[in-house]
């Protein structure tokens, strides 16, 4: 592999000049800089990350703290992670993946060892214990989520409260007045994960404002969990004509169960789901859905981190407006069925 000395020889300059071109710590003439950059490109030289960090006080690495547990939908998490990695590379940054299980110790370890320039955190809880630790770090942080106390920390996410209202408005516009919510697993609610809390709050508030009769239930993963949740919904609200599903892993077993019990979608029951677009379109019924914009949220998180690193102003709370795509899982019902 070529070294800094090889670059210096090819460019006709000293190794220290090459170092200054790389770090930007001293002014170098445009002609000399061009010669050094041409030599770097010709030789395929890549400065060692550790040396680059020492020279510039930057690592060109962002930490992404993501949940990798049994009760999370890993494919959806990886859509966010892919967006973060892709956006980071456009800024010449790499991504260091941490798991949420490491807690505050993991955050402090990578921050205090100057391994990263900034941190992006997912799977925020309402009273997240990591928030006080983040405020003590010198590196900026961006949250994909909206905890109760996020003062001074940048947050980006889908507006889940608005997403719940959009789902109900769509169904109400089709004449539905008795609607059930198939929510995430009980563990997600128990942790008070912010996206689930915000969606549930929006669902309940919008139900009252729209004059709807609704019932909600968490749903354990798997066929047995779906069967139990649907039975509870039917028992608590007779004559449900529509479901809002905020649980990607419940979708296929739910459709299987409805078909097995003779309830046709959308003829007998309508469905609006909140999930990535590819999930909504990969099932036996193309589902009307509100997209989880993982690409947009992940990209915005990286852009916000870059603005913070550059000392530029930001909007500290960015909630993306939801959008609904009508497909094949909703139908309008007559007043006699309401």
pTM for this prediction: 0.82
Which residues, in sequence order, are bridge partners of residue 73?
none
Same domain as 269, residue 190 = yes
Same domain as 270, residue 281 = yes
Same domain as 142, residue 234 = no
pLDDT value of position 54: 46
Measured distance CA(183)–CA(246) in Å, rounded: 5
For residue 102, what are the domain limits? 61-158+294-320
The pLDDT tens digits for 49-99 are 555 554 456 788 999 999 877 677 888 999 999 999 999 999 889 999 987
pLDDT value of position 33: 86
Would you say 216 and 281 are in contact if contact means Cβ atoms under 8 Å apart? no
Measured distance CA(55)–CA(149) in Å, rounded: 36
* Domain assignment present for 272: yes
* Domain assignment present for 268: yes
The stretches in the chain having pLDDT less than 50 are: 54-55
pLDDT value of position 174: 97
Cα 163 to its chain centre, rounded Å, is 15
pLDDT value of position 210: 97
Tokens 């889908």 sit at which residue? 158
Same domain as 203, residue 111 = no
61 by DSSP, 3-state: which?
strand
């Amino acid at each position: 592999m070529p070294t800094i000395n090889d670059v210096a020889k090819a460019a006709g300059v000293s190794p220290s000049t090459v170092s200054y071109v790389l770090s930007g710590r001293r002014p170098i003439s445009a002609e000399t800089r061009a010669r050094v950059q041409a030599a770097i490109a010709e030789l395929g030289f890549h400065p060692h990350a550790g040396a680059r960090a020492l020279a510039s006080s930057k690592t060109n690495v962002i930490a992404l703290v993501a949940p990798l547990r049994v009760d999370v939908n890993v494919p959806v998490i990886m859509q966010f992670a892919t967006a973060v990695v892709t956006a980071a590379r456009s800024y010449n940054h790499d991504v260091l993946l941490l798991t949420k299980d490491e807690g505050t110790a993991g955050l402090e370890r990578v921050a205090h060892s100057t391994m990263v320039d900034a941190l992006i955190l997912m799977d925020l809880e309402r009273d997240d214990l990591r928030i006080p630790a983040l405020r003590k770090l010198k590196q900026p942080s961006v949250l994909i989520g909206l905890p109760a106390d996020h003062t001074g920390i940048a947050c980006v996410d889908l507006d889940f409260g608005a997403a719940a209202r959009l789902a109900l408005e769509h169904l109400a516009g089709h004449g539905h007045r008795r609607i059930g919510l198939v929510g995430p697993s009980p563990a997600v609610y128990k942790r008070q994960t912010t996206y689930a809390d915000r969606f549930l709050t929006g669902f309940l508030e919008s139900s009252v404002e729209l004059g709807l009769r609704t019932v909600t239930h968490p749903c354990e993963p798997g066929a047995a969990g779906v069967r139990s949740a649907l039975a509870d919904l039917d028992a608590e609200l007779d004559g449900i004509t529509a479901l809002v599903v905020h649980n990607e892993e419940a979708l296929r077993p739910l459709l299987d169960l409805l078909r097995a019990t003779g309830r046709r979608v959308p003829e007998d029951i309508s469905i609006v789901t909140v999930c990535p677009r590819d999930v909504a379109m990969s099932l036996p019924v193309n589902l009307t859905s509100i997209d989880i914009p993982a690409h947009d949220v992940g990209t915005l998180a990286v852009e916000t981190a870059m603005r913070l690193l550059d000392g530029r102003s930001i909007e500290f709370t960015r909630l993306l407006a939801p959008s609904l795509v009508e497909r094949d899982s909703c139908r309008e019902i007559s007043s006699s069925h309401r």
